[in-house]
Structure 1
Amino acid sequence: MKIAVMGASGLLGSAVCRECLARGHKLLAYANRSWEEPKKKYGVSSLPMEKFDPVMREFFDQWPDAVVNCAAISSPDMVDKNPDYARLINVEAARQLAEVSAHLGARHLQVSTDMVFDGTSSPYRSTDQTNPLSEYGLQKLEAEKQVLATTDINLVVLRITLLNGNSPRGDRSPHERILSALAKGEEPTLFTDEWRQTSSAENVAQLIVELIERPNLNGLFHWAGADTITRHELGRRILQRFGFKEERLGTSTLAQSQERVGDRPGKLTFELAPLVSKVKTQPATIDQQLEEMHLPLALYSWYRENVDDPTCYNPRF
């Protein structure tokens, strides 16, 4: 199949690119900006989604068999700072992309988020009532509705959870941000009462490509990891994985940080049985996700000089 991936320079998008190539598909990779490393590895082309006419022309020229939309302004803080621009990407471009896919007869997969829920009734099924607490969650929910309204066939909206993994720039996933904070001399502070069912970007990418290959599976689905963990415990496990003492990690609660972080869901978990029973891909455990984590190469020199237990990690080149 000829598969077009939007947001190919991101944490999930780059993983989807790798999985497409591993399964022998022809890849069309696009991103807002074409960074050098993804460009070399996946042939990523710059195709900003703010002005949609160039995107539409490219798709009619290439005529892909499937489209995966991983592109989004995914940081809630960035959405709050510029909600109009974020809406242009998260909602308007998502709808237009789904419409073009429907016109081309291409299978379409839109990535969404667990942030469409308020965290009061976990675990959530795809049929449960939504109630976003943030502008980001509101925008992703509106995108879901508009994408699902484009067609009744050949379409998947996939809600996913907090992603672990290795991003092209080494600054997107939880372990990359924690290690970067340590390198700056900061103490990462994570919440002991914020529960998440973290996913592996590689595992989600495997599922996405499987869903693209399975035209009999259509509609709204949930996917996450096999285990539920607090943000603080995840941070502690990450420090352990890379050989740092737990004392380097700060501790707080959502209640203590309400003024700084605003309303945030306390517990977001998914009921996975409806989809797990239909696919070959299986959710990744926390141990599997930790094993996949690599040290960002930009931090290698700092790491060698500052790690508490250098026997915990062997860099892979």
Structure 2
Amino acid sequence: MKVLITGANGLLGQKLVQQYEDRSDVQVIATARGENRNLSGSYIYEQMDITSSDEVDAIITNHKPDVVINTAAMTHVDHCELNPDDCWKLNVDAVDHLIKSCRKTESFIIHLSTDFIFDGKNGPYVEDDSPNPQSKYAESKLASEKLLASSGLKHAIVRTMLVYGIVHDMSRSNIILWVKKSLEEKKEIKVVDDQWRTPTLAEDLAKGCILIADKKAEGVFHISGKELLTPYDMAIATADFFELDKSLIEKVDGSIFTQPAKRPARTGFILDKARMELGYEPVTFKEGLAILKSQLAHV
């Protein structure tokens, strides 16, 4: 099986490339806009700007992948709010380019989406709950879902949320690393306690995508962690796990932060469909912290 990954330099992209390295039955074509930031391996790397229809078409028609996993996106919610045209180009127009090219090669598309398509009033959510996006980012991700739904192509949509993990070159941060570093430096931090999510270990998200690719399972799947936590809960758990001073963590209301984009208050996912149809089972948050700790020891 040939699998083409977009956004291969990102957190999820790197985890997918790493997990597929153990699979002799899969040829991976890793693509991203810049130079390759993955560890060396048996995969093929191609530079590809997903916003260029010509580049997308040339690479997909050349490699003819069985499966395309689209992890490329503009995910910074406030940046999307302030730059809606750029957001639309990367999150919607690029998906249209993929659809047109995959139609020629009859490739199965797995597309990453988000919990932010929901308004956060009735979480946790199942796959067929009604979306109600509250930001430009959320609107763009829902629009991309609708593009795929009307494309006629075989596809899966993977909604996820609050993904945490580390890349090998430590070029990206997340809430866990931020809390750990801040507390190690004896800095006081303010962390919100009025937003709820089911935080997702990047390795679990990659595993979920691979399960879908193997089965070519069609439809919408919620892939996340299984514990409904606030960022404050996550920060306290991080402090406890790494034996750091949690008295430096101040519980605050999200309204104290000025942010251009509105965030849903309470999302979280119900994972019954992914468990039943894919055999997906995520780690606990504490197990996720242990995985990060072991990885940090080898950075």
Q: Name the stretch that deviates more: 175-184 or 287-296.
A: 175-184
1:138 corresponds to:
139
Q: Distance in 1 between matches of 2:99 and 2:268?
A: 27
Q: How does 1:155-194 map to 2 (within 5 A)?
A: 155-170=155-170, 171-181=172-182, 187-194=188-195
Q: Secondary structure at the match of 2:134?
A: coil
* Residue aligning to 1:106: 107
Amino acid at match of 2:210: V
Q: Given the superposition, is the C-alpha separation of residues 183 and 213 from structure 1 closer, same or farther in structure 2, using an over 3 Å criterion? A: same
3-state DSSP of counterpart to 1:220: strand
Aligned pair count reads: 296
Aligned to 1:23: 23
Task: State the partner residue of 2:240.
Answer: 240
Distance 1:14 1:104, change over 3 A: same
Cα distance in 1 for residues equivalent to 2:187 and 2:44: 36
Output the amino acid matched with 1:205: A
What's 1:275 paired with? Answer: 274
TM-score by length of 1: 0.86
Whether the 8 Å contact between 1:90 and 1:140 is mirrored in structure 2 is: yes
Q: What amino acid maps onto 2:280 in structure 1?
A: T
Contact 1:176 1:296 in 2 (8 A): no
Taking structure 1 as reference, are residues 261 and 89 closer, same or farther at Cα in structure 2, changes over 3 Å only?
Answer: closer
Gaps of 5+ in 2: none
Q: Kindly tell me: are residues 220 and 17 of structure 1, through their superposed partners in 2, closer, same or farther at Cα, counting changes over 3 Å?
A: same
What TM-score, normalized by structure 2, do the two folds share?
A: 0.91
Q: Hey, what does 1:225 align to over in structure 2?
A: 225
Greater alpha carbon shift after TM alignment, 4-13 vs 19-28: 19-28
Question: 1:271-313 CA deviation, whole Å, 9 max, x = no partner?
Answer: 211221112231221122111114887xxxxxxxxxxxxxxxx
Q: How does 1:1-317 map to 2 (within 5 A)?
A: 1-24=1-24, 25-35=26-36, 37-38=37-38, 40-41=40-41, 44-152=45-153, 154-170=154-170, 171-181=172-182, 187-215=188-216, 217-257=217-257, 259-260=258-259, 263-294=262-293, 315-316=297-298
Residue type at the aligned position of 1:263: K
Q: What is the alpha-carbon distance in structure 2 between the residues aligned to residue 200 and residue 12 of structure 1?
A: 10
Structure 1, unmatched stretches of 5+, are 298-314
| Secondary structure at 1:22 match in 2 | coil
The alpha carbon displacement at 1:169 in A equals 4.2
The percent identity for this pair of structures is 24
Distance (Å, rounded) in 2 between the aligned partners of 1:250 and 1:196: 19
CA offset at residue 180 of structure 1?
4.9
CA drift of 1:49 comes to 1.7
Output the CA distance in 1 between the equivalents of 2:87 and 2:181: 26
- 2-structure distance, mates of 1:271, 1:40: 36
Separation (CA, whole Å) in 2 of partners of 1:218 and 1:54: 27
| CA drift at 1:102 | 2.7
